[in-house]
């Protein structure tokens, strides 16, 4: 089943006719009963959903990572503000994630497997700025990566990209093992590129000021609003961990 889902993801990308280009996607699997899902109520927020909240008979969770091209990261890194291409990639990829989830759902339901999923973005508490279903934390449980100093998930292809996830009422293959540590700081080495790249000072070695970060994102959305909802920045995702392959 995992190979079937991977094929659907690749086919959906190939048929999408987008301006944004991607490297090879990643897919990870976890059991819906993995105790770390319950721990997200402490790690993320008490209101964070469990797989069984999305699908009462949930047995498996799959997460996927759509890595952007190296060129897109370089364009955004070198841009004095936020590159228009980056905003376009955000809008296009959010729709692509919706399409992937819908296609996976349609394919699996033909075989009697039910699925459920949350939207790729804006499924969060606007006061706390925390997600009800954090795709990056779900992807972490599914073995796709580990968190970096910038609070983003770093996969074996890097952090430059977008995440999606689904819940299934079927058991897939053996759950994926935890990913190794990719963040240089977490490895005890020197970096802090993400902190230096933050244009507002919202990101420090001590943590992330969510409100200050979000104010910047809303400003960018005002600037590029004609493209679509694009509250993005991405400057912290342009360092050594952006592209790992």
Domain annotation covers residue 166: yes
The string of pLDDT tens digits covering residues 143-183 is 999 999 999 999 999 999 999 999 999 999 778 889 999 99
Domain annotation covers residue 124: yes
Please tell me the predicted confidence (pLDDT) of residue 245. Answer: 85
Domain annotation covers residue 242: no
The string of pLDDT tens digits covering residues 103-122 is 999 999 999 999 999 999 98
Q: Which residues 6+ apart lie within 8 Å of 241 measured at CB?
A: 148, 154, 158, 159, 182, 183, 184, 194
For residue 29, the surrounding DSSP H or E stretch is strand 26-31
Instruction: Give the residue numbers spanning the domain of 113.
Output: 2-237
Q: At what angle do helices 84-110 and 70-78 cross, to 10 degrees?
A: 150
Domain annotation covers residue 15: yes
Nearest of 147, 152, 175 to residue 61 by alpha carbon: 175
Model's pTM, two decimal places? 0.96
Domain annotation covers residue 244: no
Q: Which residues 6+ apart lie within 8 Å of 45 measured at CB?
A: 125, 128, 130, 131, 132
Nearest of 63, 71, 62, 61 to residue 23 by alpha carbon: 71
Distance separating alpha carbons of residues 98 and 135, to the nearest angstrom? 13
User: For the chain, what percent of residues have pLDDT higher than 70?
Assistant: 100
- pLDDT surpassing 90 at residue 74: yes
Length of the chain measured in residues: 245
Nearest of 158, 185, 186, 179 to residue 77 by alpha carbon: 158
Nearest of 118, 126, 117 to residue 217 by alpha carbon: 126
Please tell me the predicted confidence (pLDDT) of residue 127. Answer: 86
Average pLDDT, the chain: 96
Kindly report the CA angle at 241 between 64 and 203, in degrees rounded to 5? 100
Domain annotation covers residue 75: yes
Please tell me the predicted confidence (pLDDT) of residue 169. Answer: 98
pLDDT band at 221 (very low <50, low <70, confident <90, very high): very high
Q: How many domains does the chain have?
A: 1
Domain annotation covers residue 243: no
Domain annotation covers residue 180: yes
Nearest of 191, 193, 240, 236 to residue 213 by alpha carbon: 236
Please tell me the predicted confidence (pLDDT) of residue 122. Answer: 86
């Amino acid at each position: 089943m995992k190979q079937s889902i991977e094929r659907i993801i690749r086919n959906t990308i190939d048929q999408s006719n987008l301006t944004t280009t991607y490297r090879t996607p990643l897919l990870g699997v976890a059991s819906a009963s993995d105790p770390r899902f319950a721990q997200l109520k402490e790690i993320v927020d008490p209101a964070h959903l469990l797989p069984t909240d999305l699908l009462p008979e949930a047995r498996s969770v799959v997460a996927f990572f759509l890595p952007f091209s190296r060129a897109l990261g370089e364009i955004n890194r070198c841009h004095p503000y936020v590159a228009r291409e980056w905003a376009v990639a955000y809008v296009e990829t959010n729709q692509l994630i919706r399409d992937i989830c819908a296609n996976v759902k349609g394919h699996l339901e033909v075989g009697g497997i039910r699925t459920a999923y949350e939207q790729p973005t804006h499924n969060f508490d606007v006061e706390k700025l925390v997600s009800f279903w954090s795709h990056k934390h779900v992807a972490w449980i599914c073995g796709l990566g580990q968190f970096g100093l910038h609070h983003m998930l770093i996969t074996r292809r890097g952090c430059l990209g977008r995440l999606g996830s689904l819940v299934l009422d079927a058991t897939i293959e053996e759950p994926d093992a935890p990913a190794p540590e990719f963040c240089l700081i977490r490895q005890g080495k020197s970096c802090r590129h993400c902190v230096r790249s933050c244009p507002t000072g919202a990101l420090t070695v001590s943590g992330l000021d969510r409100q200050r970060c979000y104010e910047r994102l809303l400003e960018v959305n005002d600037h590029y609003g004609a493209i679509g909802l694009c509250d993005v920045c991405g400057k912290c995702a342009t360092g050594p961990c952006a592209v790992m392959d």
